[in-house]
Amino acid sequence: MNKKIKKASRHTSQNEGLIFEKSSPGKRAFELPPLDVPAADPAKALGVNHRRAGIEGFPEVSEIEVLRHFTRLSTWNYAIDLGMYPLGSCTMKYNPRVNEFVARLDGIATEHPYQPQELSQGCLKIMRLLEKCLLEITGMDAITLQPAAGAHGEMTGLMLIRAYLEKLGNPRKKVLIPDSAHGTNPATAVIAGYEVENIKSESHGQIDVDKLRDLVTGDVAALMITNPSTLGIFEQRIPEIAEILHAKGALLYMDGANMNALTGVTRPGDLGVDLMHLNLHKTFSTPHGGGGPGAGPVAMKKILEPFRPVPILVEKEGGRLALEPVRPDSIGRVKAFSGNFGVLVRALAYILAYGPGVRQATEDAVLNANYIRKHLEGVYELPYSLPSMHEVVFSDAIQKKNGVSTMDIAKRLIDYGFHPYTTAFPLIVAGAMMIEPTESESKEECDLFIDAMKSIAVEAATTPEIVKTAPHTTRVRRLDEVGAARKPVLRWKPAVPRSEAAD
Amino acid sequence: MRYLPKSPAERQEMLAAIGAKSIGQLFSGIPERFRLREALKIPGPYSEAEVIQYFKDRAAENSNGYTSFLGAGVYNHLRSVVTDAIIQRGEFLTSYTPYQAEITQGTLQAIFEFQTLMCQLTGQEVANASMYDGSTAMTETVLMAERLTDRQRVLVARSVHPEYREVLKTYAKNSGLRVEEIPYTARGTVDAKAVQAALKDDVAAVVVQSPNFFGVIESYAPLAEFAHASGAMFVVVVTEGVSLGLLRPPAEADIVAMEGQSFGLPPSYGGPFAGVIASRDKYVRQMPGRLSGQTTDSEGQRGFVLTLATREQHIRREKATSNICTNQALCALAATVHLTLLGKEGLREMAEQNLSKAQFALSELLKIPGVRRAFDEPFFNEFTIELPRSVKILNSHLLRDKIIGPLALGTAYPELTKHALVCVTETTPRAEIERFACALKHALERPV
């Protein structure tokens, strides 16, 4: 083990096959209470045509085997609970356990979306308070909590734009998207029925305002902007950008993925943004859970309010809350039921824990990013030098001379006990290294990260092979992704096919 | 603040290292006039105890102490405490999308197992790593069918969950899809003749749900035949996954959209759940969502990676099959753990108990004068009854007995104001079914 690696050391890891390979007929991990009504005969009740004999290949294992199986698998994952997870644009911050606790309370997790609204006032009050908090944070007038994730929020947002413009007589054709945007932006615009026109960034990585002025024609419905941009830089001319769009009747959409840089410091609504989504699983710390669930509320200005997806949460006389299913101008539903309610609960628990002090979290996030930037500047190339907000983007230009790429450095970070930063994004930086520490990292953890990055830079210069073949300490080495895609194996199959005659 | 790991001295030290005089200097990129001068007007800060108390107070304002006969896409099933113990392990809970395969093998293998379980349940060959929920999964299957057939007309049974249809219509408005609804017969099944009549060579998909929104089990074979004869995709929606423990899987379907809530996820006022898309191997490249694939590492060991990413937005941007990025990974993990715990026998027994309880509930309700079974076809754990009076008024009487009555179908189906969708699962005790029948009888005996 390399002595320079301070944060990690070797550790035995248990091997574990697929659960299907442990299965043996007759084992079980779950027992139901005895049936207290007469047993129905499935063949009679369903008819032979509808009945299935059994599910071929379904696991048969005991409770301890299930627990060990998934516990062993879990130990193969890196997680925020183990250390810094500096994935740029992903805002991997601490996920408070109390949020998990309250989301599972009886009376919260147990509630059915169709139960009478007079028996759901607690759920509706949670949604109402979250709405109010998010409106205060964003400086907007109205909000929908229905979208299930950021990309779903983007889509809802573009549908709102289309509905609004259509009401004015012309939905228009194009959505402008900077070349630094997240991939979801262009994908969403197409699903919402718009053509995408990419805008090149100017030399400082900001939106080229003069070029934008030429591009905004009567055909343009909206500009989708990320602020701070994916370079971690605040779009300084955003009020002017809003004016240019508004003068031509187009709208300004903000991707709120980077709201962790702004919360409590400035408000998109005050900057001229017309609508935006928030990623509650980023800024508001509902866990990422290995890729979801999230929630992507969309906050908007008054002009868009009539178009919000139904049902709409309204306050009736006496403070009673209700979900109204019908609004004449609504874009319709974007998801069944009332959004990812359990995620909304967690986000509110997070906000209540901080209160107005959430500003301190933003400040610490920006402090950490700038601290790391200061110490790594010169060691790695900084392609854009404007002030960093909550994340900093370096490039591998210096290390590339020795044949070491951002991906190699990222993989080597694993050996040092860290999750990699974001590689290969934003697209406008060749060999990008996008680092977002978040406020959850102590000075000590930041220092360890800086040490690791400096040490890897030395390795890249002196012993590049060790970096290029990293990681060396994980239970699997680099995996054959090309092979996986060429001949996809996407499910387990029994080695010896059994007779399916019973089916 | 307890979540923030820095002392005031450390903050000063870090600022000094940066060469900044104050934290405000780090925000110099934001024009001065847009920086907030006042504190945000939001409640807090709350200690942990206060956070818990706030939510306990809200929980007390909900439906505690009531027995519910609601289903309609969200079901109460037994869950083992093991499921929550596993999904609350920090290594699963606080991990990101498994892009870095070497340190996310746990998540990747679990997804691979989830995909396998979904294939086994649905009788399909490939399943994705999850969609937001059943409603968006159904919509994405229609968009998938549109790509596969290059056609834009879609036939959707009216007996498909009304909110699922609403979501489809929302998407359709923006993408140019033409959605047409197919009526149901007097027996509550999709009108196969109407399907046949509406099918032309411009139909991308025929979409049916089974058990359908009225609880009725559909017969797939004739519908699949009609659809295929016109070159359309046959899409089956499953909102109650436990039914697949006993019912023949929709093997004739080209694409299946399923809601995974029944697999260990609490009702949680409507989410988060886990949508699933399952299909044929030959259609995988038009399938949206993440996929975990088996491969080997440089030393020949088995491992898993996210694969076929060229379908996805982070690679393909505007040419992606879908804009989905964040999915419902932890919910899919919960479903994987839950189904593994249930196993082959457990799932079958759970399904049988649902069937038995529903049969019992129907027989108890039919003893009440004036209560009629609406659709005479096999059902699983939900069935429709016709009452002599408005369901909404009867339900308001039941609330006094702390019973949340069956779903009034009149809201979504104006022609069914006296019809109610009753759901019973293995969690509904016999005594509560009897108490419900008794309360309904009394409610019907009241003068109008």
CA dihedral A189, B319, B139, A146 (to 10 degrees): -40
pTM: 0.97
CA distance B447 to chain A (A): 24
Structure tokens at B376: 């005479």
Domain presence at residue B386: yes
Closest-approach residue (CA) in chain B for A101 = B52
| Same domain? B277 vs B323 | yes
Check which CATH number belongs to the domain holding B71 and give it: 3.90.1150.10
| Same domain? B99 vs B156 | yes
For residue A499, pLDDT beyond 70: no
- pLDDT score at A330: 98
Q: Where are the beta strands (DSSP E) in B240-314?
A: 255-259, 275-279, 292-296, 302-306
For residue A4, pLDDT beyond 90: no
pLDDT tens-digit map of B174-211 = 888 999 999 999 999 999 999 999 999 999 999 999 99
Mean pLDDT over the full length of chain B = 96
Task: Please state the three-class secondary structure of A85-128 as a single string.
Answer: CCECCCCCCCCCHHHHHHHCCCCCCCCCCCCCHHHCHHHHHHHH
User: How wide is the angle at C-alpha B122 spanned by C-alphas B117 and B126, nearest 5°?
Assistant: 65
- The rounded distance, in Å, linking the Cα atoms of B266 and B273 is 8
Tell me which of A36, A37, A238, A419 to substitute to probe the interface with B (most B C-beta atoms closer than 10 Å). A37
Asked if the C-beta of B197 comes within 8 angstroms of chain A's C-beta atoms, the answer is no
* B161 contacts on A by Cβ (under 8 Å): 336
Paired strand residues for A422: A434
- A215, A221 Cβ separation under 8 angstroms: no
| Same domain? B241 vs B312 | yes
Closest-approach residue (CA) in chain A for B78 = A32
Q: How many CB pairs under 8 A join A and B?
A: 682
Structure tokens at A353: 């824990």
Asked if the C-beta of B80 comes within 8 angstroms of chain A's C-beta atoms, the answer is yes
CB atoms within 10 A of CB B277: 29
Among B306, B338, B370, identify where a domain stops.
B338
Q: Which of residues 172-191 of A touch B (CB under 8 A)?
A: 182-184, 186-191
Q: Coil, helix or strand for A252?
A: strand
Which strand ranges, in their side-by-side order, compose the sheet holding A392-395?
Answer: A392-395, A432-435, A422-423
Instruction: Judge: A55–B244 Cβ closer than 8 Å, yes or no.
Output: yes
For residue A496, pLDDT beyond 70: no
* A337 contacts on B by Cβ (under 8 Å): 73-74, 133, 163, 269-271
| Same domain? B367 vs B406 | yes
| Same domain? B368 vs B321 | no
Residue ranges making up the domain that contains B182: 81-338
Among B338, B355, B382, identify where a domain stops.
B338
Q: Coil, helix or strand for B187?
A: coil
Structure tokens at B65: 């102490």
Structure tokens at B310: 């060229």
| Same domain? B172 vs B321 | yes
CB atoms within 10 A of CB B298: 11
Do the domains at A101-356 and A357-477 have one common CATH topology?
no
Structure tokens at B319: 């040419």
pLDDT band at A501 (very low <50, low <70, confident <90, very high): very low
Burial class (CB in 10 A: 0-12, 13-18, 19+), A325: middle
Residues contacting residue A360 through CB under 8 Å, at least 6 positions apart:
A264, A354, A439, B1, B4
Q: Which fold has domain A101-356?
A: Aspartate Aminotransferase; domain 2 (3.40.640)
| Same domain? B315 vs B176 | yes
pLDDT tens-digit map of B105-140 = 999 999 999 999 999 999 999 999 999 999 999 999
pLDDT tens-digit map of A420-450 = 999 978 889 999 999 999 999 999 999 999 9
Q: Largest alpha-carbon pair distance within chain A?
A: 77
Instruction: Judge: B85–A108 Cβ closer than 8 Å, yes or no.
Output: no
Q: Which of residues 444-503 of A touch B (CB under 8 A)?
A: 445-446, 471, 474-481, 483-485, 488-492, 503
Structural domains in chain B (count) = 2
For residue A215, pLDDT beyond 90: yes
Q: For B210-229, what is the mean pLDDT? A: 97
User: How wide is the angle at C-alpha B123 spanned by C-alphas B122 and B124, nearest 5°?
Assistant: 90
Asked if the C-beta of B22 comes within 8 angstroms of chain A's C-beta atoms, the answer is no
* B247 contacts on A by Cβ (under 8 Å): 46, 50-52
Domain presence at residue B133: yes
pLDDT tens-digit map of A216-255 = 999 999 999 999 999 999 999 999 999 999 999 999 999 9
Instruction: Judge: B301–A236 Cβ closer than 8 Å, yes or no.
Output: no
Q: Which fold has domain A357-477?
A: Aspartate Aminotransferase, domain 1 (3.90.1150)
* A480 contacts on B by Cβ (under 8 Å): 295-298
Domain presence at residue B2: no
Question: What are the sequence ranges of the domains in chain A?
Answer: 1-76+478-503, 101-356, 357-477
> How distant, in Å, are the alpha carbons of A35, A38, B430, B431 from that of B357?
8, 8, 8, 11
| Same domain? B320 vs B400 | no
Question: Interface pTM (ipTM) of the complex?
Answer: 0.97
Instruction: Judge: B112–A492 Cβ closer than 8 Å, yes or no.
Output: yes
Among B292, B317, B338, identify where a domain stops.
B338
| Same domain? B140 vs B186 | yes
Give one DSSP letter per residue of A318-361, joined into a string: GG-EEEE---TT----SSSTTS-HHHHHHHHHHHHHHGGGHHHH
Q: Which helix (H) or strand (E) holds B391?
A: helix B391-400
